[in-house]
Structure 1
Amino acid sequence: MSTQVLSPPVAAVRLEQVTKRYGSGPAAVTALRGIDLALPRGAFTAVMGPSGSGKSTFLHCAAGLDQPTSGSVWLGDTDISRLKPRALTVFRRDHVGFVFQAYNLLPALSVEQNITLPLLLAGRGADPGWLDFVTGAVGLADLRGRRPSELSGGQQQRVAIARALVTRPDAVFADEPTGALDSRTGRQVLELLRRTAEELGQTVVMVTHDPIAASYADRVLFLADGAFVGHLDRPSAQQVADHMTHLGEW
């Protein structure tokens, strides 16, 4: 009887020896130094590090918003670092969700129109069942006809999260998603991101400077001087804060 060999599951996000340099010659700045990372589907990962450690550069390279100087970035089974600009734009629109700190909602559009905007730009209609599910999951089922000006900051961030989910992306990237929110609303958004990973199986990658925010993640990765220098699994906020105090040693 033959033995079937199963291939390992494809990681949702994979970086292989990724470097990023800005400028050239003696004035060049290396923001990322040979990053290797694989994140499974359904994981909620936080990335922390001091100012200038490379957090934003990492997030932008992983999400396809910036091109690495060398190395490969994979989303699912696609090497996005090899795509030409137009192809990358189309791929990112269909396969990447991004949650900005500033929400980036269009004030003239309703909640539902803001959520489905990526589909409109792609010339696709929304799946009514999935749209109902997403808006319900983020607590916006009764607010779909409102404008952003009629919403609280937390509700606007929920719209941004729903917009990031509506295309069923390979991964959702969040850049300081609670930075402009009060602590109570921030907790609600973080709980939503965690439920998104746990209940929807969505891969979430979040950059944050806040140990409390990081403690909601399954794993916290620490960056220093453009390289990962450690991690904690399911840590408390105090454990994250304690770890951050030692990053200066790197």
Structure 2
Amino acid sequence: MTVTAARADSDGRAVRLESVVKQYGSGPSAVVALRGIDLVLDRGSFTAIMGPSGSGKSTFLHTAAGLDTPTSGSVWIGDTDISRMRANRLAKFRRTHVGFVFQAYNLLPALTVEQNVTLPLLLAGRRVERAWLDRIIRAVGLDELRRRRPAELSGGQQQRVAIARALITRPDAVFADEPTGALDSRTGRQVLDLLAQMTRELDQTIIMVTHDPAVAARADRVIFLADGAFVGSEVGATTQQIADRMTAWGTW
């Protein structure tokens, strides 16, 4: 199944997967986690990936983001095929072109909010553009907290720092792994509002893995994954429509 985002301008593609297969091991004990994934996502799209446990969601996210290498097929970020890059070159590429938001935040406790946000630039040897940094920090609502350290922040504030850090390099795409999983419902809604705002105001492409229909409903499009393959998609679906779709398959 080939899934294409709503906007089909080929010049605006942020992420493209072509016939991606990911296999672990070999012989009779081999596990095929992804089975011929085809996907095109355009800039400014907000996509949720859903699937039951063992469906390949995490493998998909890691492979699409360049954290893992496909067994066969190709993965493109912007205009670059990252599938066959050597590890050191790929790591450098990810620092600039890929943002990642982890459920566990992964902030450095000794650094301030501003230092955590600008860390990817430091690692990439790039200077900080003050105007862009100020815009990002204001957009995520952290302007008054720049000099605080993670221990002085709430869970929602820490996740906002993680989102700002993912955006600071102006990446082609931001990948979010259960970004609201460690948050209460009210804070989770605020984070989802922020992600949706980033797609509108910054034309940012966001790919989010979640198991929660209410979270997935905030995305423009929901793509369903089962047994390592895409099995359907919904555009503008409600929480109930997504939950009904999941229940109908009976494997969630």
Do they superpose with TM above 0.5? yes
Give the Cα–Cα distance (whole angstroms) in 2 for the partners of residues 40 and 205 of structure 1.
11
Give the Cα–Cα distance (whole angstroms) in 2 for the partners of residues 126 and 188 of structure 1.
27
- The 5 A counterparts of 1:186-201 are 186-201=188-203
Give the Cα–Cα distance (whole angstroms) in 2 for the partners of residues 184 and 248 of structure 1.
29
Give the Cα–Cα distance (whole angstroms) in 1 for the partners of residues 250 and 36 of structure 2.
20
Q: Which residue of 1 aligns with 2:160?
A: 158
2:204 equivalent to 1:214: no
The structural deviation recorded for 1:249 is 7.2
Q: Which residue of 2 aligns with 1:140?
A: 142
- The 5 A counterparts of 1:96-111 are 96-111=98-113
Whether the 8 Å CA contact 2:52–2:251 is kept in 1: the answer is: no
Question: AA paired with 1:158?
Answer: R
Q: Deviations 1:9-68 (Å, cap 9, x if unpaired)?
A: 241000000000001100000000000000010000000000000000000000000000
Question: AA paired with 1:97?
Answer: G
Give the Cα–Cα distance (whole angstroms) in 1 for the partners of residues 250 and 54 of structure 2.
12
The structural deviation recorded for 1:8 is 3.4
- The 5 A counterparts of 1:210-249 are 210-248=212-250
Q: Which residue of 2 aligns with 1:94?
A: 96
2:143 aligned counterpart, secondary structure: coil
Whether the 8 Å CA contact 1:10–1:77 is kept in 2: the answer is: no
Q: Which residue of 1 aligns with 2:116?
A: 114
Candidates 181, 184, 190, aligned match of 1:182: 184
Gaps (5+ residues) in structure 1?
1-6
Candidates 69, 72, 81, aligned match of 1:70: 72
Give the Cα–Cα distance (whole angstroms) in 2 for the partners of residues 202 and 10 of structure 1.
11
Give the paired residue count. Answer: 244
Q: What's the RMSD between the two structures over aligned residues?
A: 1.2
Identical-pair percentage: 73
Whether the 8 Å CA contact 1:219–1:234 is kept in 2: the answer is: yes
Give the Cα–Cα distance (whole angstroms) in 1 for the partners of residues 119 and 21 of structure 2.
33
1:31 aligned counterpart, secondary structure: strand
TM-score between the two structures when normalised by the length of structure 1: 0.96
Q: Deviations 1:121-159 (Å, cap 9, x if unpaired)?
A: 112221000000000000001110000001000000000
1:82 aligned counterpart, secondary structure: coil
Q: Which residue of 2 aligns with 1:131?
A: 133
Question: AA paired with 2:168?
Answer: V
Gaps (5+ residues) in structure 2?
1-8
Question: AA paired with 2:13?
Answer: A
